Structure 1
Amino acid sequence: MLKQSLQQKLLQKLSPLQIQVIKLLEIPTAQLEQRIKEELEENPVLEYGSDSESDDDYDYDYDGDSDSKESDMDKDELSIDEYINNDDIPAYRLQAKNYSKDDKHEDIPFSVGTSFHENLTSQLGLRDLTNRQLVIAEYVIGNIDEDGYLRREVDEIVDDIAFMQNMEISPDEVEEVIKVIQDFDPAGVGARDLRECLLLQLERKSGDSSALKNALEIIRDHFEEFTRKHFEKIARRKDLSDSELKDAIDEILKLNPKPGGALSNPLHKTVQHIIPDFILEYEDGEFQLSLNSRNLPELRINNTYSDMLNEYQVNRKNQSREQKEAVMFVKQKLDSAKWFIDAIKQRQNTLMLVMEAILDYQREYFVEGDETRLRPMILKDIAERTNLDISTVSRVSNSKYIQTHFGIFPLKYFFSEGLQTDTGEEVSTREIKKILEECIAAEDKRRPLTDEKLVQILREKSYNIARRTVAKYREQLNIPVARLRKEL
């Protein structure tokens, strides 16, 4: 049975400009330059803000019923005035308020060279492999992650190559090629798990010392006990003295659990540099905050297209359908260009607004970078100060960095929850974490501090915190439990 009913719905639709701003707020400065280049390539109306006018041509396509198109265009009033008036289309300097008074910041370099995977592929040329083995090897290398591990199962590799290369291979063929790759540099590359990774490195080490032999046997036969740091159990089972066990453990600790990161030479891998989005200077008791946009181009509207619309306005009645379609194309591109320029401007203003609020909120901390001076601060605090939505503050804070006179920090670093001491004073959870780090760093590694003991230490300092909270903070600091911190 069919029913008809009326419903009222309140829907919020975002304008193209709002969508642009949201997208641009999310990306850091390092990616903004590339995003601007992409927009310049896609939109012929947009150009660099140089004095000379651009001579770039543009193309447009049209199809369908010309009569209906002309009718639609006649209904659509073109607001020509807003496009031909130069005052309405100002060149927007992205660098405005984006440099210090001395303009002394050097450009942050970037690394060029061979990537980790390219290094592995280049080593294939040193081996006598058939074309069939080369296909397998290239696929295996492509599935090795940045840590140097092969995370894909052999059966899955067999299926993938059969599907993608239309080539039937056996699991034994894949295993044979994996063994070849595991002989590549760095040692341990191509391992399926940590145990295999450590074994590959130990097997490649030269020498026949008892320490090396014991280390290999520990990883091969007692890996689970080793990961759980049950050293007494290992010593009993292998009949090792304390010194023999310590020498063997020392050999293992020299190994690299992530061989993919072993290529420290910048010619062997690409090093990602952090490019700060903000630069903060502190001189004579005064802060100077600026956006770091030194490499970003100036943008403006190409005057050629404004002139085209001006000419259309003068001779509007004499234009053909094709010419009108060209004008519609230009109008769309003009809209897009104006939205993009305005979005960039709003992005920069919003970034400065949020960072200025954070600076004002954490002013005492930014003087010297003393972590104990960090006040408890959540997204809502900054949202209320800036009259922005919490989601907007979150987008600004995500993946953004600030360069200060005491280091470079992610904006997320300055946000933390608050706790009250026994005296009623509100402190940042970051201060609690710093105390935990200091206590664990100074502990006796033969008898590391348990979470219960850490609770007692904090209570002695007037921080009344539950054991589960201490465990949560310890995990957030990537510090293992006491048993796993134990050393000989």
Structure 2
Amino acid sequence: MKLKTTIKTKPSLSVVLGPFVGLLEKSTESLLEQLEEEAQKNRCITHFVRRKPRFFFSEEVPQREIPFSQSQWESIMNQLKVELDEEELEVALAILHQLDHRGFFVGDEAQIAKEFGTSKEFVEDLREFIMTELEPVGIASKNYEEFFCVQLRELYPEEPELCQKVLEFLKTGVGDQRVKDIATRLRLTPFEGEQSPYKVGSVDVILERDQDGWLVLLMEDFIDFEVREGEREEKERALRWKKLLDLRRKLLRGCINLVVERQEDFLLGIGPLKALELTEVAQKLGVSVSVISRLISNKYVKTPTGIYPLRFFFQRRSKGGYSREQVLRAMKEILQKHGKLSDAKVAELLREKGIELSRRTVCKYRRML
């Protein structure tokens, strides 16, 4: 007898949530703003409750919105993904999140370096790369002078002295006709679009530790509403919101539990970050990597050692299975013990410890130190 086999496929989240899937990457505060707007116009949402315990007010984290349109953002991301590895991409995203509505960098390179456990010079190199190599040229410039010079180097690479002449004209009004003509062709801002306001949001997750173990508090645990009968379209939207909240809670808690399990030493201030990759978490939670990437975006965690972006706890695994911080610590010990060594020699000594790195990667890590 021939058996008939059937394969049951699990619907993707994009099918389950539809257009709501993009809300996975919102901070809790931003999500709540949209949910409150929905509750005001959707009659099927009733008994809406938004409790916010006072401990979530203890710290507030400034979150600037990216000032680009969706198409521009996708274009910039596509350029970055081609040019940068995953580690560099994370830092580049932090830089982009600290642009004002004109596209100028207004952040703190030292603070970004501290968040990602790297050097200020490394962050500055990435900012210059974004400024000079991406389109449109000049994104992440610090000021007008830098922005104008980037444009002039791009337009007139064989005339380095032109930058000073144009700047002098813009400051004093003194310059020949050619300099004036060139000045009129310059863009005034890296991003010529509508202003995007700054937003301030509370932390999304709080981690506390006592003698019984870890306490995980999600701000979303204090939100609830009921769905009542009504028009079909309104009820379907209300059910989608309900499903989205339930799914975010489940995935976010599962993600945080895995972070606590892997990074407990760091959270207690007694050890470095260990390797934890998006693929590993995605497999354990039974979702795609893109879902985890969305989920950990724009969310901050308050821990016993400070406040960190949730993405901070995800560290790429080297060939030997070590995180970046573990590799940096091992390299630092080698350099302190042996003094000045070539990159090739450092790579050889790291290999003896089971850490496989190319000479080029050793050079990059040495700059971080």
User: In which range does the TM-score fall when normalised by the shorter chain?
Assistant: 0.5 to 0.7
1:380 to 250, 274, 279: 279
Q: What SS does the corresponding residue of 1:340 show, helix, strand or coil? A: helix
Question: Hey, what does 1:281 align to over in structure 2?
Answer: 208
- The farther-off stretch of 285-294 and 269-278 is 269-278
**Alpha carbons of structure 1 residues 103 and 33: separation in structure 2 relative to 1, 3 Å:** same
Q: Could you tell me the TM-score, scaled by structure 1's length?
A: 0.42
C-alpha deviation, 1:420, in angstroms: 6.8
User: Partners of 1:104 and 1:27 in 2: how far apart?
Assistant: 17
User: Partners of 1:341 and 1:413 in 2: how far apart?
Assistant: 29
User: Partners of 1:413 and 1:109 in 2: how far apart?
Assistant: 15
Q: Does 2:314 align with 1:362? A: no
Question: Hey, what does 2:74 align to over in structure 1?
Answer: none
User: Partners of 2:338 and 2:199 in 1: how far apart?
Assistant: 34
Residue identity over aligned pairs, in percent, reads: 20
C-alpha deviation, 1:432, in angstroms: 0.9
**Alpha carbons of structure 1 residues 334 and 109: separation in structure 2 relative to 1, 3 Å:** same
C-alpha deviation, 1:428, in angstroms: 2.4
User: Partners of 1:198 and 1:284 in 2: how far apart?
Assistant: 63
Q: Does 2:3 align with 1:108? A: no
The code of the aligned residue for 1:191 comes to F
1:400 to 295, 299, 308: 299
User: Partners of 1:35 and 1:441 in 2: how far apart?
Assistant: 53
The 5 Å alignment of 1:64-143 reads 103=55, 105-106=57-58, 108=60
Aligned residues: 263
Question: Hey, what does 2:359 align to over in structure 1?
Answer: 467
- Cα shift readout 1:342-397 (whole Å, capped 9, x = no counterpart): 321221222112211222233333332621xx333223332343344444333323
2:343 to 427, 436, 451: 451
- Cα shift readout 1:418-458 (whole Å, capped 9, x = no counterpart): 4576xxxx5323311345578899999xxx97533543564
Q: What SS does the corresponding residue of 2:38 show, helix, strand or coil? A: helix
Q: What SS does the corresponding residue of 2:148 show, helix, strand or coil? A: coil
Question: Hey, what does 2:148 align to over in structure 1?
Answer: 191
Q: What SS does the corresponding residue of 1:24 show, helix, strand or coil? A: helix
Question: Hey, what does 1:145 align to over in structure 2?
Answer: 103
The code of the aligned residue for 1:401 comes to Y
Q: What SS does the corresponding residue of 1:368 show, helix, strand or coil? A: coil
User: Partners of 1:16 and 1:399 in 2: how far apart?
Assistant: 23
Question: Hey, what does 1:45 align to over in structure 2?
Answer: 44
Root mean square deviation of aligned Cα = 5.1
User: Partners of 2:10 and 2:56 in 1: how far apart?
Assistant: 49
Question: Hey, what does 2:6 align to over in structure 1?
Answer: none
Question: Hey, what does 1:32 align to over in structure 2?
Answer: 31
The answer (yes or no) to whether the contact 2:274–2:325 under 8 Å persists in 1 is no
C-alpha deviation, 1:291, in angstroms: 0.9
2:253 to 348, 352, 372: 352
User: Partners of 2:212 and 2:164 in 1: how far apart?
Assistant: 57
**Alpha carbons of structure 1 residues 300 and 34: separation in structure 2 relative to 1, 3 Å:** same
User: Partners of 2:41 and 2:258 in 1: how far apart?
Assistant: 36
User: Partners of 1:196 and 1:409 in 2: how far apart?
Assistant: 44
The code of the aligned residue for 2:305 comes to F
User: Partners of 1:274 and 1:443 in 2: how far apart?
Assistant: 47
**Alpha carbons of structure 1 residues 144 and 416: separation in structure 2 relative to 1, 3 Å:** closer
Q: What SS does the corresponding residue of 2:322 show, helix, strand or coil? A: strand
The code of the aligned residue for 1:428 comes to S
Question: Hey, what does 1:315 align to over in structure 2?
Answer: none
- Cα shift readout 1:199-255 (whole Å, capped 9, x = no counterpart): 59x979xxxxxxxxxxxxxxxxxxxxxxxxxxxxxxxxxxxxxxxxxxxxxxxxxxx
C-alpha deviation, 1:191, in angstroms: 2.2
User: Partners of 1:465 and 1:419 in 2: how far apart?
Assistant: 8
The answer (yes or no) to whether the contact 1:280–1:404 under 8 Å persists in 2 is yes
The answer (yes or no) to whether the contact 1:362–1:375 under 8 Å persists in 2 is yes
Q: What SS does the corresponding residue of 2:268 show, helix, strand or coil? A: helix
Question: Hey, what does 2:219 align to over in structure 1?
Answer: 292
Q: Could you tell me the TM-score, scaled by structure 2's length?
A: 0.53
The 5 Å alignment of 1:388-427 reads 388-419=287-318, 426-427=321-322
Question: Hey, what does 1:68 align to over in structure 2?
Answer: none
- Cα shift readout 1:168-212 (whole Å, capped 9, x = no counterpart): xxxxxxxxxxxxxxxxx9773762428799959x979xxxxxxxx
- Cα shift readout 1:318-354 (whole Å, capped 9, x = no counterpart): xxxxxxxxxxxx2221221122123212212221122
- Cα shift readout 1:123-175 (whole Å, capped 9, x = no counterpart): xxxxxxxxxxxxxxxxxxx99531499x9xxxx9xxxxxxxxxxxxxxxxxxx
Q: Does 2:357 align with 1:430? A: no
The answer (yes or no) to whether the contact 2:61–2:201 under 8 Å persists in 1 is no
**Alpha carbons of structure 1 residues 386 and 37: separation in structure 2 relative to 1, 3 Å:** same
**Alpha carbons of structure 1 residues 409 and 111: separation in structure 2 relative to 1, 3 Å:** closer
The code of the aligned residue for 1:28 comes to S
Question: Hey, what does 2:4 align to over in structure 1?
Answer: none
User: Partners of 2:211 and 2:351 in 1: how far apart?
Assistant: 39
User: Partners of 1:396 and 1:104 in 2: how far apart?
Assistant: 20
User: Partners of 1:382 and 1:11 in 2: how far apart?
Assistant: 18
The code of the aligned residue for 1:336 comes to R
**Alpha carbons of structure 1 residues 30 and 461: separation in structure 2 relative to 1, 3 Å:** same
- Cα shift readout 1:436-482 (whole Å, capped 9, x = no counterpart): 578899999xxx9753354356457664533133246568x5x8xxx
User: Partners of 1:274 and 1:437 in 2: how far apart?
Assistant: 37
Question: Hey, what does 2:236 align to over in structure 1?
Answer: 335
Q: What SS does the corresponding residue of 2:58 show, helix, strand or coil? A: coil
C-alpha deviation, 1:110, in angstroms: 5.7
* Higher Cα radius of gyration: 1
User: Partners of 2:14 and 2:360 in 1: how far apart?
Assistant: 46
The answer (yes or no) to whether the contact 1:94–1:345 under 8 Å persists in 2 is no
The 5 Å alignment of 1:143-222 reads 145-147=103-105, 188=145, 191-193=148-150
Gaps of 5+ in 2: 1-8, 68-99, 107-127, 137-141, 154-159, 170-188, 190-195
User: Partners of 2:12 and 2:351 in 1: how far apart?
Assistant: 52
Gaps of 5+ in 1: 1-9, 50-92, 116-141, 157-184, 205-259, 261-268, 310-329, 480-488
